Amino acid sequence: MLVDLRIILKFLSYIYGFFAVLRRLIYEKGLIKKKKLPVYTISVGNLSVGGTGKTPFTIYLSKLLKNKNKKVVVLSRGYKRKSKEKIIICDNDKTFSDCGDEPYLIFKNGINVVVSSDRYKAGLKAKNIFNPDIFILDDGFQHFQLHRDLNILMVDATKPFWKDNLLPYGRLREPASFYKYADIIIITKTQALQEKKLKDLEGYLKSLNKPYFFAKERFSHIVDKDGNIYDFSFFKDKKVIAFAGLGNNKQFFDIVKRYFNVEKFIEFPDHFDYKDYKFEKDKIYITTEKDLIKINQENIFAIKYEIFCDKEFEELINGIIN
C-alpha cells in the first residue's frame, strides 16, 4: 500500500523545521557571532519562497532613501548568476548572467548593487567604493550571518505566512512564528482581495503587534528593451502573447488580462534565462521587466510595475534613518 505523499511531505517539513529553528537560534543566541557592517543596514525579505514583491519594494525603498539624500547600496547574493567572481560590482559592462536577474534589474533602476554570497565582504568593498549611508540586504531575512539594524518582512496578501506550512509541505522557509524577528511588515497584492478578506487580514495583522503597511501597486506604462516608453493605448487594437518566468506567473497574467487582448499565455520557471528560446518575430510579446532584461528583441515589451507605500511608512523610515 502506497503511503500518502502528503504524509511524507508533512513529516519532512518537521525535519526541515527543526533545522530551520536550530540555525536561527544559533545566531540569535550568539553561539555564532553575527558580523556587523560599519553602515546602517536594512533587510528586505520574507518567510516564504516565491514572489512577494521584494525586488520592486527594494527599488522603491532605495529611491525613497536616495530622495532623502542618502547614498544607498543594495547587497545581493545574485541568485542563479552564472559568474564565478566572488564579488561583483554591477555596472553597464555586466549582464543579468553576471549579476543575477533581480540584482541587475535593481541596478538598471539607477541603484548601486554589489553581488556576493558573502555579503559582509561585499559590504566592506562597497563601503570603500561608494561610501554609502545605508545598505539594503535584498532577500535578507534568513541571512543571519549579518547584523541588520532594521528588518522589513514582505507578505503576499493572497498567501499569508500564517496560513502556510514549512517546506516541502508548504512554502515557508521558517516557522510562521518567526515574524517576531521583523520590525516592520509590508503587505503586497492586497488589490486581489475582496473587502471581507482584507478586513480579516487587517484584523490578524493587528494581533501581531508589529507596525504594518499595505503596499500599493502602480502599472504606469510599457517599456521596450531600450527603455522607450509606451502608453497602454498603443496596444489597444493589438493581440499580444504574454509570458513570464516568475515565482508566481499567474498573478502577472491576471494583470495582463486587464490591459491587453491576449491570444496566448506562456509560463516559464522562475529565473528562466531564455537563452535557447525562440520568439516569433511577427508577434507582440508582453512580459515583466525582470524577463525583458534577458532578451534582446524589438517586439518584446514589459509592463512597468512599481510598489509604493503611503506617507505614514515614509515618515516612519525618515524618522528611523535621521
Return binding residues for ATP.
48-55
Vertex 93: Cα angle to 87 and 98 (nearest 5): 45
Q: Which residues does the annotation place in the binding site? A: 48-55
Report the distance separating Cα 205 and Cα 252, nearest Å.
25
Vertex 173: Cα angle to 148 and 164 (nearest 5): 120
- The 8-class DSSP code of residue 149 comes to S
Amino acid letter for position 241: I
Give SS3 for 8: helix
Give, in order, the Cα–Cα distances in Å from 285 to each of 104, 119, 279, 282. Answer: 21, 36, 9, 10
Nine-digit cell at 286? 508582453
Selection from 177, 191, 172, 183 nearest residue 212 by Cα: 183
Bridge partners, residue 219, by sequence: 305
- The 8-class DSSP code of residue 65 comes to H
Selection from 63, 44, 76, 72 nearest residue 133 by Cα: 72
Does the N-terminal peptide bond of residue 168 adopt cis geometry, omega within 30 degrees of 0?
yes
Bridge partners, residue 307, by sequence: 217
- The sheet carrying 229-230 orders its strands as 229-230, 216-223, 300-308, 285-288, 239-244, 261-267
Report the distance separating Cα 237 and Cα 242, nearest Å.
15
Vertex 144: Cα angle to 147 and 12 (nearest 5): 165
| Residue 292 and residue 301 in contact, taking contact as beta carbons nearer than 8 Å | yes
